[in-house]
């Protein structure tokens, strides 16, 4: 039978075989997808239940912590000396002492009030004196009805919370009537802000339309909610049997045509329960519609596959995929001609022109690369040539001043230094030199300046690390920066002028840091100068510090150049950043193309 089935399958056309194969593949996938969808629905519901329960527990825990903190404040305040003096020693206190004691007690009640946004008022009901003192600087008459109602419900339920005349009160009796069997002398009430509680409840469910939250004490029969439909709340409380469990519970509730998920948790100490209800559609969506769409999509998918599979694959998909692959290889730098397809259709035309494009592109890349390198070398030599006359006329000005001052010894020493300088220039015509030679030349320039300033300006050079000595850099990049430090930093100082040159290196960069202790620059001028470093346009004269910045960028790339900052001694800090030579990505691609 298997042999017969194989023969029947082999006798079918390619189109039929593809349809059969697709059907064999899609049918199990559809069944598996339906099973996964069902399992996913159950898993999503469990995770939503956990998330809703966790949020309920978290918010309930926050309220419990707030209430416990308020109760702790009550316990501490109940034994306050000022409060007990007002209750038990009121007949012995003078008017001034009575007033001072009340003020101190009110200040402590105000501290309790400001400890939580949920506290609206704090008061002490002093039954012995018939007076009540509150944090709002008011002294009135004891509300005996409220006190009696609280004592009664506290004895009945043990809950410190009482909802009385649209007020939610948290009370504490002294002395404790349950323990001492005595009548209370005074009661400390903390009135909770119902409006703030409603705001908190609204915030808790703001992400879901039609959702809400309820604070309720089922024993006393009071509720606080952000929902105005009291009938709905009463119906939900009647259907949900709230139990005093440590962990939140999730139940379903139906009102009219809407199903709700209800999460609740009760605090055993206060008998207050938090209930959160959310329409199931808000969190689960209409999952049944997904199943319908799933089957519809499966049928449509099979029809589309049957109609277009062969046509797309044979005429378009295969040659187009290959062409896209060839374009991606071109993006990666591999420029190779493609094998032409056997047919004489439009794809053969595309492949022929693709090969022509690759050939021309390869030639253009080589030409542009060579032109770019020639342009960079030409600009680099032009920039470097601007330094030599700049230094030349400055040194001759110095020599002229020394001769005019008849300082023959300085003239002799200066001319010797100058001769050594020009000897360096004439003997080394290369555009790049090791960093060690560049710094040696900079020291020579400093020696020249030492003669000029009669040692009132000193210069310090840190030792050059061994791994930096052979780093090739453009000539005359350090001396112009030192010259700038002399001219604008320390030249006008009468004594104690200082210029320091330090070297910092790592595997990626070499940094030459030049600082002076002159007046420096303000932050605005510093930022302006930094932004103008690379702003010279083609044909514009480039001198000094911008010259060095441009040459470093031409030589080592855009990440190199000059960074300006404030020096440690108050002057200007100039940092020459040199990226260590590494092969750029374009060079790597060109090398790969050449190797290929």
Residue 380 has pLDDT above 70, yes or no: no
Question: pLDDT digits over 458-497, tens only?
Answer: 999 999 999 999 999 988 889 889 988 888 888 888 888 8
Range from 227-231, 237-241, 461-465, 591-595 that averages highest in pLDDT: 461-465
Q: Give the integer Cα–Cα distance in Å for 405 and 78.
A: 94
Question: pLDDT digits over 213-228, tens only?
Answer: 888 887 788 888 876 6
Query: What single DSSP character describes residue 138?
Result: -
Enumerate long-range contacts of 463-466, CB under 8 Å, 24 or more apart.
463/503, 464/435, 464/436, 464/439, 464/503, 465/503, 465/505
In 3D space, the residue among 543, 585, 85, 540 whose CA is nearest the CA of residue 333 turns out to be: 585
In 3D space, the residue among 275, 274, 280, 272 whose CA is nearest the CA of residue 255 turns out to be: 280
- Using only C-alpha atoms, the chain has a radius of gyration, in whole angstroms, of 44
What beta strand segments (E) does 451-496 contain?
457-461, 472-474
The whole-angstrom distance between residue 4's C-alpha and the CA centroid of its chain comes to 66
Share of the chain above pLDDT 90, in %: 14
Q: Which residue has the higher pLDDT, 11 or 404?
A: 404
Q: Give the integer Cα–Cα distance in Å for 451 and 300.
A: 93
Q: Is the dihedral of CA 15, 19, 24, 29 positive or negative?
A: positive
The confidence score (pLDDT) of residue 385 equals 52
The confidence score (pLDDT) of residue 554 equals 80
DSSP annotation string for 358-380: HHHHHHHHHHHHHHHHHHHHHHH
Helix (H) or strand (E) segment spanning residue 435: helix 435-453
Report yes or no: 568 and 515 within 8 Å, Cβ to Cβ. Answer: yes
The confidence score (pLDDT) of residue 112 equals 92
Q: Give the integer Cα–Cα distance in Å for 493 and 452.
A: 13
Domains of the chain: 79-192 (3.30.450), 197-287 (3.30.450), 288-372 (no CATH), 386-587 (3.30.565.10)
The confidence score (pLDDT) of residue 246 equals 62
The confidence score (pLDDT) of residue 263 equals 83
The confidence score (pLDDT) of residue 308 equals 66
To which residue do tokens 């514009």 refer?
A: 540
To which residue do tokens 């703030």 refer?
A: 196
**Cα end-to-end span (Å), the chain:** 55
The confidence score (pLDDT) of residue 535 equals 66
The confidence score (pLDDT) of residue 427 equals 64
Lowest mean pLDDT segment, chosen from 109-113, 271-275, 428-432, 452-456: 428-432
Report yes or no: 110 and 135 within 8 Å, Cβ to Cβ. Answer: yes
Mean of per-residue pLDDT scores for the chain: 79
Question: CA triplet 177, 181, 186: central angle to 5 degrees?
Answer: 40
pLDDT band at 521 (very low <50, low <70, confident <90, very high): confident
Residue 249 has pLDDT above 70, yes or no: yes
Q: Which residue has the higher pLDDT, 381 or 341?
A: 341
Residue 124 has pLDDT above 50, yes or no: yes
The answer, yes or no, to whether the previous bond of 121 is cis (omega within 30 of 0) is: no
How much is the pTM?
0.44
The confidence score (pLDDT) of residue 593 equals 37
Residue 382 has pLDDT above 60, yes or no: no
Q: Give the integer Cα–Cα distance in Å for 192 and 185.
A: 23
Report yes or no: 105 and 133 within 8 Å, Cβ to Cβ. Answer: yes
Question: CA triplet 258, 264, 265: central angle to 5 degrees?
Answer: 175
């Amino acid at each position: 039978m298997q042999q017969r089935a194989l023969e029947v399958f082999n006798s079918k056309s390619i189109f039929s075989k593809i349809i059969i194969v697709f059907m064999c593949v899609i049918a199990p996938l559809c069944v598996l997808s339906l099973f996964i969808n069902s399992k996913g629905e159950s898993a999503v519901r469990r995770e939503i239940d956990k998330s809703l329960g966790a949020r309920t527990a978290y918010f309930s825990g926050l309220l419990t912590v707030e209430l416990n903190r308020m109760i702790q404040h009550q316990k501490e305040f109940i034994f306050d000396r000022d409060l007990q003096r007002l209750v038990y020693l009121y007949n012995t206190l003078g008017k001034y002492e009575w007033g001072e004691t009340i003020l101190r007690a009110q200040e402590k009640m105000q501290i309790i009030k400001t400890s939580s946004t949920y506290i609206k008022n704090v008061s002490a009901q002093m039954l012995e004196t018939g007076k009540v003192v509150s944090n709002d600087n008011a002294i009135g008459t004891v509300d005996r009805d409220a006190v009696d109602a609280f004592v009664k419900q506290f004895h009945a339920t043990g809950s410190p919370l009482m909802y009385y005349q649209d007020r939610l009160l948290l009370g504490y009796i002294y002395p404790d009537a349950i323990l001492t069997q005595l009548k209370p002398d005074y009661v400390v009430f903390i009135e909770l802000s119902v409006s703030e509680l409603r705001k908190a409840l609204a915030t808790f469910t703001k992400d879901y339309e039609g959702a809400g939250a309820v604070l309720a004490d089922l024993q006393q029969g009071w509720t606080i909610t952000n929902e105005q439909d009291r009938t709905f709340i009463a119906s939900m409380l009647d259907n949900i049997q709230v139990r005093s469990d440590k962990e939140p519970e999730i139940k379903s509730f139906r009102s009219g045509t809407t199903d709700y998920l209800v999460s609740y948790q009760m605090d055993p100490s206060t008998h207050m329960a938090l209930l959160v209800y959310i329409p199931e559609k808000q969190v689960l969506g209409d999952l049944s519609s997904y199943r319908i769409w799933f089957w519809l999509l499966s049928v449509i998918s099979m029809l589309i596959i049957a109609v277009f599979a062969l046509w797309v694959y044979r005429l378009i998909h295969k040659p187009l995929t290959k062409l896209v692959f060839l374009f991606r290889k071109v993006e990666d730098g591999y420029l190779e001609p493609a094998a032409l397809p056997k047919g004489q259709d439009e794809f053969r035309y595309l492949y022929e022109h693709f090969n022509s494009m690759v050939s021309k592109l390869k030639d253009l890349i080589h030409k542009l690369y060579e032109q770019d390198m020639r342009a960079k070398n030409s600009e680099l030599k032009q920039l470097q040539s601007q330094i030599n006359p700049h230094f030349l006329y400055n040194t001759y000005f110095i020599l002229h001043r020394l001769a005019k001052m008849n300082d023959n010894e300085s003239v002799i020493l200066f001319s010797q230094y100058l001769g050594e300088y020009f000897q360096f220039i004439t003997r080394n015509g290369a555009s790049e030199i090791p960093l060690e030679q560049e710094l040696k030349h900079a020291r020579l320039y400093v020696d020249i300046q030492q003669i000029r300033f009669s040692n009132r300006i000193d210069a310090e050079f840190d030792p050059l690390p061994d791994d930096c000595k052979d780093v090739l850099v453009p000539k005359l990049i350090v001396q112009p920066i030192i010259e700038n430090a002399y001219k604008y930093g320390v030249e006008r100082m009468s004594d104690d002028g200082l210029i320091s040159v330090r070297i910092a290196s790592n595997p990626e960069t070499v940094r030459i840091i030049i600082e002076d202790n002159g007046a420096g620059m303000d932050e605005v001028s510093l930022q302006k100068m930094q932004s103008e470093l690379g702003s010279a346009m083609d044909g514009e004269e480039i001198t000094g510090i911008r010259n060095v910045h441009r040459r470093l960028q031409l030589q080592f790339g855009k990440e190199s150049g000059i960074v300006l900052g404030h020096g440690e001694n108050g002057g200007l800090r100039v940092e020459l950043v040199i990226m260590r030579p590494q092969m750029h990505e374009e060079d790597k691609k060109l090398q790969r193309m050449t190797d290929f």
